[in-house]
Structure 1
């Protein structure tokens, strides 16, 4: 029976990129390079979930991520076919993406990913791609797959173990029309490409039964690396040692007259006589401290992929001549949380904790800042040893002052992007958790969210202690408040918000939501699971967000609840939340029933952006009755359905979504309303032929009346703004596209005391 990887091709060409790029933007890390490939004109670097390349003559850098059509899945290999001018990107889940370098069109080749036949999903990783005689030989964790470059279809699947069972194929090469494959458990297997029955496992022979990891062809000889970290060339069937690496060889390739071998911290270069011509050690590369992942040579330049610093470009003739190729981006893709300052500056942190709020193993990651289209990555070495940074808070009265919460070390203070202070149990009111019977443990200071009140005081949640609410007052004094009277035991802390009355709302791991206000005789209440305790669907509260109508939206690990008004805390002794009931095809359903909610963000129109642990992002109307958008990896550039955080730029309406595999943004229209109409602007203007988006009118006041007429005064559109921006689909009352011409936009505030007029030109 023929064993074939069924061929399915999904095109994602210019139409995809054009439509998506109008609304989406990618913010990916390009530091973690997994593999390198080269063409006659470019060097390609495959990163964790994105790709970048450099033109060898013009030095132009191009990036590609999910907004451009990539999948967001973890990349494992990359290969460029010079014969077809196409680049192939392999993934850990078996997906193969083909890029036509001439047109830029992307094709998703899902034949391996979707292949059944008893192949487990975690055994479809693409380890290597090799081209010979108009075919690609794709090494996978279950076997070897053929892909035909003549018609871009998958061919046969080869199970090449001695029994025909699945086995991990790590790399292949061809010599004298013999296909050699390194397997994890059965040595080097070989098959004759002239054999029409090569699909039969009995047609394969064991060339060498040892344990090998890599193989290539160089100077008409086989060269391989064994698991003892020794490189051999084969004189016929006899292995001859080339070099002992002393550490695992992770990449080997022959390029013209050079053999390049890469280990974690060295790159070896050999000539055709197997004489060593260059050795580049990690400590010779300036300004980086990162393991190598791969290396190749183009002309007289060595390109080295690294785990944390992109690609290092080194001259063979002068090793001190070095250039780092690293496109702008955050330092990592798995951003745990973000924060946007009033000016629009975005901050990102990468520390985390697991589902039990346990930060171990502790993370040693830095902090990133995005401002004026530039990224600043502050390394861990400048954070005074603070580990597992989980939140960022910007002082709204002084954006040069920023606080970073460590879920182990305390609270960091940054001024003008420089860390100045680490507040911990020795110099502040913060406290370490205590483990009974182990007094020597610690310090372990679990600081999660912090938030400023209207008086400039910084409120801090300090978990697993009795006095878990702290405040750093504007005068520099610390004060602590005991909330244990409403707790059944010490609990871990999650997010916190401060409302207009100064009430602190704190989400906890297993005690629901705690509400506290020192101005009302240190009043403290708890909203918990159960109808008589507050009606939460779960005591594991993840997010507490106050909307524009002073309602409290609570996200838990099993659903959503709303407190109708935060003012109820002031005059009531018990707080009860309610669910949102929607009509779903005639049936009453609870909105987001059972969903693990990770974050809730409120936009300028009071709509709710809700992130989930595995179901992507929802955008609901202000009351939750209408689902405006549902974004997942299957219908948007989201790189993952695991949403870590959502923040909104109130000035531009851009919605930033941090996921487990990268950050993207959606250009929404719900900007914060202005106080007057002096800054109203219209974009795009003019609207040119072929434009498929909408016209935006921004800088509006809340509930502004917007009327659009043609030049003769005929009304074509009218709307009342909910936030600071409205959009028009350039249709007359949504029915048909208006003709070319100048259109007048008449705007007035809801009290009609302020008015303005704008124009927009439409060219069909």
Structure 2
């Protein structure tokens, strides 16, 4: 049977890149992979984005998936003489940023070069006489600047085999190529048969990393961090670093030699101008460096791009755009005033990564701030976040290994672990004596109690009560071997029943108000397709949506828990013509979130995100890396701002958001607003009427009272496509919006100006 999400959707993939104003990117610019320069700008890349700084105006410009730069993993960047920016990737993709800022993906290397897919990494670019020589894992490809087509490819191994070329340069009408395993090779640049490996000779057979032309001499660095200038074939040492080098760069005025802990600058007479061994207050390593206009630009592994003067480098300025700590966005939560983002991770079995990482926090007014890794009390694998609804200064962050963190006003971390009520497990070999406190799912109930799961122990469910006392619940009577059980997320319904996803144990339902009642829903007695439940979500009509490793199930009413002793779930069947199919059949469901209109946002492993209708019968949207600004199809977490309707997608390559229209209904009609207003000729999207109560009646008429649109709201926002009942675009003019609650007790009138 064909899988459900391939039949529905391209007719519903209505997002076009002209609608990107609905998207926002929240990317990190800290993990620098490469730097290059143009006449006016300095360009820098991370694995997932590019940014530049105009050296005269100091304006920063970013290029991310939101403006069509969607890399695999950036490994090299270059700016050409005709003002194009080339972005090289690990998989051979080259992204062109045109002079007008638009982009083009060049997939010639991916599709046309007959090389194994894992051997197409782009290492470097070099321009000469209207051509760009691309150093790759398989050899060299030559791109013509006139049309950016591949002119030829050179496989220059000793027997014509593929060979990793790290960098090229041209000197005295000869092209020199540093190879990883066969030394430096050279050939005449005018030789029309460079594609023939026999036309290449070995210039030097030692082990080399990098090569440039500087001050009318050939300069190369070997794998021991020693840099030489060549006099004919004779290599003369002039610089030696304390550790292995990374790369040589030059702007023709200065030569920059970089390794992880040192940067050396040389003038044109090969005199050492400066040596930089660290950046004050940043314990980080270097990744790349280059000079421009007597300034030095330094890329670091985790701290961003720095700028300093060449001769007096006592002051360093971080010029990376502000963003989160890193692009791996694991869990995201919208609190009352902020957006909290954690960067830990664990695998399917909840085995943690043990990474010590800080927390990124975004505020609309102040931008990004960070809790550094020195401010998390040593806790690793940070994941789920929960804000105390009765005291919003308190935020809790779960650790997949260290316990539970409590922050007050984003500071003063208190770590709850095996020393203060939580329980630990002593991991088996090869991790003897490795104490682990595994907290994952967290959720506040309506009484202000924080419920959480504590994996691999008998007392797997715990609660921090609103009076700051703890209580735990023993699961050994309801679950076989609870000390082997891992937990996913928790959701809590209107009856205070706690629904918990588990790895291998199905869904665990618990309510202490009904004599500590437990019910297990699994494959054997609950019709689940798999006992590995990745997520649970209670919707606005009291249905439980269950995402498993092999598909979706629905419990039609959470009230059944109160009166029944066992619970059976059902699937959702979609009719496709004469063919009935199961929604998300056999798919790995990573997250489910419910928006203000009771629509469901569903993340499918490596397949992007779906928005389906309240009953699942209609697919409203599908977002993938191919048809939207998602930087990756691996969406790890979804969060929805109930006030604005903004939907956040946390992926392994960055955080983005889509401005949805399904907001939570307001309590009254005092705050109804319309945007955009006026509707200008260049605008092609929908008009949104927000701040509504749920289930209000909304009518739009022209100034003469002719009805052009009518609907009943679901949630707090209604969209109007500026047509008369979908038939034709309305004319320029003023349109009246009449809103009334279902009982007519609340009413309001607004105006929309449409300009054609």
Counterpart CA distance in 2 for 1:194 and 1:120 is: 29
- Whether contact under 8 Å (2:16, 2:628) holds in the other structure is no
The one of 624, 639, 642 equivalent to 2:631 is 639
- Whether contact under 8 Å (2:438, 2:454) holds in the other structure is yes
- Whether contact under 8 Å (2:71, 2:93) holds in the other structure is no
Instruction: Rate the CA distance shift 1:711–1:307 in 2: closer, same or farther, 3 A.
Output: same
- Whether contact under 8 Å (2:17, 2:628) holds in the other structure is no
Counterpart CA distance in 2 for 1:141 and 1:660 is: 25
- Whether contact under 8 Å (1:671, 1:724) holds in the other structure is yes
Counterpart CA distance in 2 for 1:387 and 1:612 is: 26
Pairing 1:537-576 to 2, within 5 Å after superposition = 537-576=529-568
Q: Which residue of 2 aligns with 1:6?
A: none
Deviation at 1:269, TM superposition (A): 0.3
Q: Which residue of 2 aligns with 1:497?
A: 491
The one of 362, 370, 373 equivalent to 1:380 is 373
- Whether contact under 8 Å (1:72, 1:640) holds in the other structure is no
2:143 matches 1:144: no
- Whether contact under 8 Å (2:502, 2:508) holds in the other structure is yes
2:310 matches 1:316: yes
Deviation at 1:273, TM superposition (A): 2.2
Q: Which residue of 2 aligns with 1:73?
A: 72
The one of 334, 341, 350 equivalent to 1:357 is 350
Counterpart CA distance in 2 for 1:638 and 1:579 is: 28
Counterpart CA distance in 1 for 2:316 and 2:209 is: 30
Deviation at 1:584, TM superposition (A): 2.1
Q: Which residue of 2 aligns with 1:400?
A: 393
**Aligned with 2:72: secondary structure?**
coil
Q: Which residue of 1 aligns with 2:753?
A: 761
Pairing 1:21-100 to 2, within 5 Å after superposition = 21-81=20-80, 83-100=81-98
The one of 705, 715, 718 equivalent to 2:697 is 705
Q: Which runs of 5+ in 1 are unaligned?
A: 1-15
1:635-666 deviation digits (Å, cap 9, x = unpaired): 11111110100000001101000111111111
The one of 223, 226, 232 equivalent to 1:230 is 226
The one of 253, 260, 281 equivalent to 2:256 is 260
Counterpart CA distance in 2 for 1:233 and 1:745 is: 76
Q: Which residue of 2 aligns with 1:4?
A: none
Q: Which residue of 1 aligns with 2:7?
A: none
- Whether contact under 8 Å (2:440, 2:454) holds in the other structure is yes
Counterpart CA distance in 2 for 1:438 and 1:735 is: 68
**Aligned with 2:647: secondary structure?**
strand
- Whether contact under 8 Å (1:17, 1:67) holds in the other structure is no
Instruction: Rate the CA distance shift 1:46–1:438 in 2: closer, same or farther, 3 A.
Output: closer
Pairing 1:532-681 to 2, within 5 Å after superposition = 533-681=525-673
Deviation at 1:506, TM superposition (A): 1.1
Q: Which residue of 2 aligns with 1:411?
A: 404
1:412-439 deviation digits (Å, cap 9, x = unpaired): 0000010331001112x21001347999
Deviation at 1:318, TM superposition (A): 2.0
Deviation at 1:488, TM superposition (A): 2.5
Deviation at 1:17, TM superposition (A): 8.8
Pairing 1:56-455 to 2, within 5 Å after superposition = 56-81=55-80, 83-101=81-99, 103-117=100-114, 119-282=115-278, 285-341=279-335, 343-360=336-353, 362-373=354-365, 374-427=367-420, 429-435=421-427, 441-455=433-447
Counterpart CA distance in 2 for 1:437 and 1:707 is: 67
Instruction: Rate the CA distance shift 1:20–1:226 in 2: closer, same or farther, 3 A.
Output: farther
- Whether contact under 8 Å (1:344, 1:650) holds in the other structure is no
Counterpart CA distance in 2 for 1:122 and 1:437 is: 34
Deviation at 1:116, TM superposition (A): 4.7
- Whether contact under 8 Å (1:22, 1:693) holds in the other structure is no
Q: Which runs of 5+ in 2 are unaligned?
A: 1-14
- Whether contact under 8 Å (1:673, 1:700) holds in the other structure is yes
The two structures have a TM-score, normalised by structure 1, of: 0.95
**Aligned with 2:112: secondary structure?**
coil
The one of 660, 679, 688 equivalent to 2:680 is 688
Instruction: Rate the CA distance shift 1:258–1:652 in 2: closer, same or farther, 3 A.
Output: same
Deviation at 1:440, TM superposition (A): 6.3
- Whether contact under 8 Å (1:222, 1:234) holds in the other structure is yes
Counterpart CA distance in 1 for 2:638 and 2:105 is: 29
Counterpart CA distance in 2 for 1:642 and 1:310 is: 25
Instruction: Rate the CA distance shift 1:261–1:718 in 2: closer, same or farther, 3 A.
Output: same
**Aligned with 2:56: secondary structure?**
coil
2:449 matches 1:457: yes
**Aligned with 1:486: secondary structure?**
coil
- Whether contact under 8 Å (1:703, 1:723) holds in the other structure is yes
Q: Which residue of 1 aligns with 2:10?
A: none
2:517 matches 1:529: no
Counterpart CA distance in 2 for 1:114 and 1:752 is: 62
**Aligned with 1:19: secondary structure?**
helix
The two structures have a TM-score, normalised by structure 2, of: 0.96
Counterpart CA distance in 2 for 1:439 and 1:70 is: 42
Counterpart CA distance in 2 for 1:33 and 1:208 is: 31
Aligned length: 739
Instruction: Rate the CA distance shift 1:583–1:431 in 2: closer, same or farther, 3 A.
Output: same
Counterpart CA distance in 1 for 2:220 and 2:438 is: 50
Q: Which residue of 2 aligns with 1:13?
A: none
1:165-209 deviation digits (Å, cap 9, x = unpaired): 111111111101111111111111112111111111111111111
1:280-332 deviation digits (Å, cap 9, x = unpaired): 111xx123221111111111110101111111101123212221112121111
Deviation at 1:398, TM superposition (A): 1.8
Pairing 1:499-514 to 2, within 5 Å after superposition = 499-514=493-508
Stretch of structure 1 that moved more, 130-139 or 745-754: 745-754
- Whether contact under 8 Å (2:603, 2:636) holds in the other structure is yes
Counterpart CA distance in 2 for 1:212 and 1:233 is: 13
1:513-563 deviation digits (Å, cap 9, x = unpaired): 111111111111111113xx1111111111011100111111111111111
Counterpart CA distance in 2 for 1:133 and 1:420 is: 59
